[in-house]
């Protein structure tokens, strides 16, 4: 077959797929071990891209809290301070107070594969509060509150989980993103090398100029 008649690999349907939890973990290991990314570097890349995605659609209220003495939040607050990212170290239980005081809330409560019942305490209360808000909700990678959002099966947007207005997929979308019905879906994966993208058969969108996120 001549090169003119050969189909473009980038258009192959098998490349239009999501990353499972296991694949996402393998991709991260590849970045850390083979490409010598630092773990903190990946956190900063994803955090910066998520902030850019938020500011593309909203003008968030900036709030710099004092350092929380709660052990659950202490490490997160410290990391956010290092990256100069505003971090709300507590969530008021009064839903109306949050609705009145802020323009949006970012959901980064739980990671892939974490069940709310396994955490309990403040996380469970935070998720219950987030479900009642009327201001926009931005979820990072996988909306918190499974089984409403199942990273493996793609189930999502049920009454059990959060229903974000904006989803920011990190590195590549996960299966649950196929069920996302909010206003905007962004992917933050510009840092994924081309060789890794091909190895995992990922078809990621093109990034405009110096943008670190792209709309899907």
Asked if residue 185 lies in contact with residue 50, where contact means CB atoms within 8 angstroms, the answer is no
Rounded Cα–Cα distance for residues 11 and 117 (Å) = 42
Asked if residue 138 lies in contact with residue 165, where contact means CB atoms within 8 angstroms, the answer is yes
Q: What is the percent of the chain with per-residue pLDDT over 90, rounded to a whole number? A: 30
Question: pLDDT confidence of 11, banded at 50, 70, 90?
Answer: very low
> For the chain, first and last CA: distance in Å?
34
Tell whether the model's pLDDT for residue 6 goes beyond 80. Answer: no
Q: What is the pTM of this model?
A: 0.75
How do residues 129-180 score in pLDDT, each as one tens digit? 888 899 999 999 988 865 545 556 555 445 556 889 999 999 999 888 888 8
Question: pLDDT confidence of 103, banded at 50, 70, 90?
Answer: confident
Q: Which of 59, 78, 57 has the alpha carbon at shortest distance from 67?
A: 78
Rounded Cα–Cα distance for residues 143 and 181 (Å) = 12
How do residues 47-92 score in pLDDT, each as one tens digit? 899 989 988 888 755 555 555 555 545 555 555 555 455 555 555 6
109 burial via Cβ count (<10 Å: 0-12, 13-18, 19+): buried
Task: Indicate the DSSP class of residue 133.
Answer: -
**CATH superfamily membership of 19-215:** YjeF N-terminal domain (3.40.50.10260)
Tell whether the model's pLDDT for residue 112 goes beyond 80. Answer: no
Pick 80 or 183 by higher pLDDT.
Answer: 183
């Amino acid at each position: 077959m001549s090169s003119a008649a050969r189909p473009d690999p980038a258009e192959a349907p098998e490349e239009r797929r999501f990353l499972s939890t296991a694949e996402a973990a393998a991709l991260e290991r590849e970045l850390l071990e083979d490409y010598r990314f630092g773990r903190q570097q990946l956190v900063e890349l994803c955090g910066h891209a998520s902030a850019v995605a938020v500011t593309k659609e909203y003008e968030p209220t900036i709030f710099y809290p004092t350092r929380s003495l709660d052990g659950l939040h202490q490490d997160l607050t410290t990391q956010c301070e290092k990256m100069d990212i505003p971090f709300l170290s507590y969530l008021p239980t009064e839903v109306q107070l949050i609705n009145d005081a802020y323009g949006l809330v970012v959901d980064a409560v739980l990671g892939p594969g974490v069940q709310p019942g396994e955490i309990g305490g403040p996380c469970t209360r935070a998720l219950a509060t987030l479900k009642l808000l009327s201001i926009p909700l931005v979820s990072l990678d996988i909306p918190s509150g499974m089984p409403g959002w199942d990273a493996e099966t793609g189930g999502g947007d049920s009454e059990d989980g959060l229903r974000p207005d904006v989803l920011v997929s990190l590195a590549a979308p996960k299966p649950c993103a196929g069920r996302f019905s909010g206003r905007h879906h962004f992917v933050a994966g510009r840092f994924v090398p081309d060789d890794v993208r091909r190895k995992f058969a990922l078809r990621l969108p093109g990034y405009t100029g110096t943008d670190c996120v792209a709309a899907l």
